Amino acid sequence: MKLTARVPVTAGLMALLLCSATGCQRLRAADQLNKGVAAFKNAKYEDAENFFQKAIEIDPSYDNARIYLATTYSSQVIPNLTTDANNMKIAQKALDLFHQVLDKDPSNVLALQQIASIERNTGHPEEAKEYEKKVIALAPNNAEAYYTVGVVDWLQAYKHATDILGANGLTDKSDGNVKLPKPACQQLVAQNTPLVTEGTQYLQKAIQINPTYEEAMTYMSLMARRQADLECGNVDAIKADLAKADDWAKQSMGARAANEKKKEEKLKGGVTQ
C-alpha cells in the first residue's frame, strides 16, 4: 500500500521536472511575450523590450520573441535621421535581430520585409531593393514589394534630378525640365534611365497584381515625369510622357474612388438591424 501510494507522487514530480525543462520553459517565455505585445500596443516600448528580452533569456530558441523585439526597435527608427547616433544604433539592433532570424530561416518573409524597411529608412536604397526582391522571390504575388522597389527607384531618380538641376542653377519643374543644358541632361540620362526603367516595370507589376493599387498608379504618374527629364528637350516625346503622367493620375483617382466605395459597402454589410 505504501509503495503504491508513492508511485503517483513520484510520477507527478517527474512530470513537473519534465515540464520545467521543456514545455514550462516555453510557457514562461510565452507569458513574457504576451506581456510585451500588450506593452507594445500601448506604445510602452521600453517595457515591451524588457518583456521580449526576458522571453528570449528564458528560451533562446524563441524566434517569435526575437521578431517582436526587433519590430519594437524598428518601430522606433525615425526615417532618414541618419545623423543621429542613437537612431542608427536602434536601427542596427533591429537589423541584427532580424538577421539572426534569417540565419535560421532564410525564407522568413517578415524579417526580409522589415530589413528592407530599415535599410530604406536609414539611407540604403540599394540594400532595401535587394531585400524587397528577396521577398518577391519567395512571394511573387506580393504587390507591396513590387510597389516599394518602384518607389525607391523613383526616390533615387528624383534625387539625381534635383542634384543635377541644382548644380545648373535650376529647380525641378516636373515638366521635362527643358532648360537643363544638354551635357547635364546626358548625365541625368546615364544615372536615371536604369532607375526609371526598373521602377516602371515594378510598379506595373504591382498594378497587375492589384488593379486598384492607387498608390502605385500615383508613382507611375510621377515616374512618367521622370521619364520626361530623359528626353533632353524632345518636345514631342516630353508631351507624350506628360500625357501618360496625367492619365496615370486620373487612373489613381478612379482607383481611389473604387476603393472608397468598397470600404463603404463593407461597412454597410457589417451593420445589423
Q: What is the pLDDT along the chain (273 residues), one digit of tens a residue?
A: 343 444 444 555 454 455 555 568 888 889 999 999 999 999 999 999 999 999 999 999 999 999 999 999 999 999 999 999 999 999 999 999 999 999 999 999 999 999 999 999 999 999 999 999 999 999 999 999 999 999 999 999 999 999 999 999 999 999 999 999 999 999 999 999 999 999 999 999 999 999 999 999 999 999 999 999 999 999 999 999 999 999 999 999 999 999 999 998 888 765 444
Q: How many whole angstroms separate alpha carbon 223 and alpha carbon 202?
A: 11
**Residue 148 burial class via C-beta count within 10 angstroms: exposed 0-12, middle 13-18, buried 19 and up:** buried
CB < 8 Å & 24+ apart, contacts of 191-196: 191/157, 191/160, 191/164, 192/157, 192/160, 192/161, 192/226, 192/229, 192/230, 193/230, 195/153, 195/154, 195/156, 195/157, 195/160, 195/226, 196/153, 196/157, 196/223, 196/226, 196/227, 196/230
Q: At a CB cut-off of 8 Å and minimum separation 6, what does 116 contact? A: 127, 128, 129, 130, 131, 132, 135, 145, 148
- Residue 19: the pLDDT is 56
Question: Using an 8 Å Cβ cutoff, are 253 and 229 in contact?
Answer: no
Q: How many whole angstroms separate alpha carbon 251 and alpha carbon 45?
A: 40
Q: Which three cell numbers stand for residue 51?
A: 518583456
> How many residues are listed for the chain in this entry?
273
Residue listed under C-alpha cell 530604406: 120
Q: Cα 82 to chain center, whole Å?
A: 18
Could you state, in order of their start, the residue ranges of all structural domains in the chain?
Answer: 141-262
